[in-house]
């Protein structure tokens, strides 16, 4: 029983410290968040197109070599 009480006490202390640290954080504004999200989405689209194009080119080369 003593260990359970100690565990609950430690958990409360931990959560209190987490709350204190989260108050120190600077959270992005909505416009900053939207801008960052757009950068990520555009980057993923560009990378996906590059990988798809590379795959198609390499597959064509492989087919030509195997004929």
Q: What are the boundaries of each domain within the chain?
A: 2-66
pTM score, whole prediction: 0.62
Average pLDDT of the residues in 4-14: 95
End-to-end Cα, the chain, rounded Å: 74
41-67 pLDDT, tens digit per residue, is 999 999 999 999 999 999 999 999 998
Could you tell me if 16 and 8 are in contact, meaning their C-beta atoms sit under 8 angstroms apart?
no
The answer on pLDDT for 2 being more than 90 is: no
* Mean of the per-residue pLDDT values of the chain: 96
* Distance separating alpha carbons of residues 37 and 41, to the nearest angstrom: 6
pLDDT number for residue 19:
95
């Amino acid at each position: 029983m003593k260990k359970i009480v100690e565990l609950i006490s430690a958990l409360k202390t931990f959560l209190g410290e987490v709350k204190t640290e989260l108050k120190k954080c600077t959270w992005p504004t909505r416009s900053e968040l939207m801008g960052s999200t757009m950068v990520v989405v555009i980057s993923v689209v560009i990378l996906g197109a590059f990988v798809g194009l590379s795959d198609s080119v390499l597959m064509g080369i492989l087919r030509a070599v195997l004929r």
